[in-house]
Amino acid sequence: MHWIDAVLNPSILTRITEALKKSGARMTKKRAQILTAIGSFSRPVSAEEIRQQAGLPTSDLVTVYRNLEAFEAIQVLQRIPMESGAQLFELTEPGAHYHHLICRVCHQAERLDICVGAEVEDQASTRGYTGVTHLLEVYGVCGACARAAC
């Protein structure tokens, strides 16, 4: 079962609830709504799309961001930076991270099945760096958008 498809699974919600408790937070009605909203998409989404899908008023966009930060802190959500400065969000397996191939036109974001993080971190370590982390997103134009432009 794919992690995103499993979000509504009670055992997954229990794991997220327990992780929130360990962090000093709790599962609220709005957090549950936001998780359900994210889980209803099969792609990374913006905070505004999450707010709309959760049925929350426009004034709750700040609340959505705060809850996304809480999910990110317990490592069940990944923030995906766009070239424009906007951000997309996707649920991940606890502690996992992914890199993405992102279309500059339609903003489709696809997970890449590679991670060069260990190699980069090893090179950084040999140069004396500590506390190293990495972020890698690849941007281009997807096939559908390229065909549409012809």
Residue 52, number of CB atoms within 10 A of its CB: 15
Number of domains into which the chain is organized: 2
User: 59 and 10 in one domain?
Assistant: yes
How many CA atoms within 13 Å lie on the side-chain side of 63?
17
User: What CATH number has the domain bearing residue 109?
Assistant: 3.30.1490.190
What's the confidence (pLDDT) of residue 5? Answer: 47
Return the amino acid letter for 31. R
Confirm whether pTM is higher than 0.85: no
pLDDT digits over 74-99, tens only?
A: 988 999 999 888 999 998 877 778 89
Domain boundary among the residues 70, 93, 116 is at: 93
Are 77 and 41 a contacting pair, CB within 8 Å?
A: no
Which structural domain range is residue 140 located in?
98-150
Tell me how far apart the alpha carbons of residues 17 and 7 are, in angstroms, rounded to a whole number.
Answer: 12
pLDDT digits over 90-144, tens only?
A: 988 777 788 999 999 998 888 888 888 889 999 999 999 998 888 888 999 999 9
- 87 beta partners: 81
